[in-house]
Structure 1
């Protein structure tokens, strides 16, 4: 079986003026962008589409302007690229952080979450995790409880996005985030977490 890896890109949009990227969106994407009531969600959506295009452009070695994404209500957008039929990608956002994972040969599921120590983890864990997961969480050291909770959380979310029971999942260390990437195929080499900035084509 051919080697399999993926690329994982991370960007913080706190100080980025995103207005210049609106022309990158298709008509359907603009309509969806305009339906978001909160400015934060507008920024996350727009920056996510820009990051996705830049990530795919790098992976496929084609200009950003040639990438046409088709909106699918309730699902991730679709990219028709016959030369790469096994193409996979996944987006996630939390606060001002966005991440995008891309692969030429496997479906992917990605989730990131800001590490917020002020949440009611006991109540959330009872709602989100099963008995075995809750038992594992309570066995962890108090000092790592926040990160352990979010690792479980992002693992479940990434699994749901991918929807493959036998997925391989990797966790990435970051001072502000919990990051989990799941792949339908086993990685032959782990992806690197790449911090990038958005840039015009």
Structure 2
């Protein structure tokens, strides 16, 4: 899940947790079995780097069975957000709803170039994070084979075209970008964006 300006909240306010964004994974060749996923402790440490951002979005898809929504940002970018069913009932949302959302953007934690021959892949899993303040947590991890569309080295943002659509990822501090170029095929691992609050506009 690219910063947006926050608007005055109208209607109901709910808290929700999820994951949107991607932690990019480095692999020597295509095929997710080639390299073990990033450890839970590494994921947790990377997520501590990310600050909450605010944006106004529109709901474009809802998957109640998976407690997931797809949101479109102000510049047309799309992001998947997993919703904690204990906090938010996705049945209360409708396609076309406009929302103000506070979230931690998706964070890229590992990426490397590969020879994909135009093949794009996606694998999603849930990773249990080490307990913090006596509470267990989890994050939605996505591993993909994708194409590099844009690199903003100053802002440390990477845009990937994977299966389905393009996604903008914030890059973790320890992930190098020097060897990447637009048009490269990469294997990437990322944890989805984390929404912390939303309100209907």
State the TM-score, normalized to the length of structure 2. Answer: 0.24
Write 1 or 2 for the structure with the bigger share of helix: 1
State the TM-score, normalized to the length of structure 1. Answer: 0.24
Structure (1 or 2) with the larger CA radius of gyration: 1
Asked which structure has the greater RCO (Cα within 8 Å, sep 6+), the reply is: 2
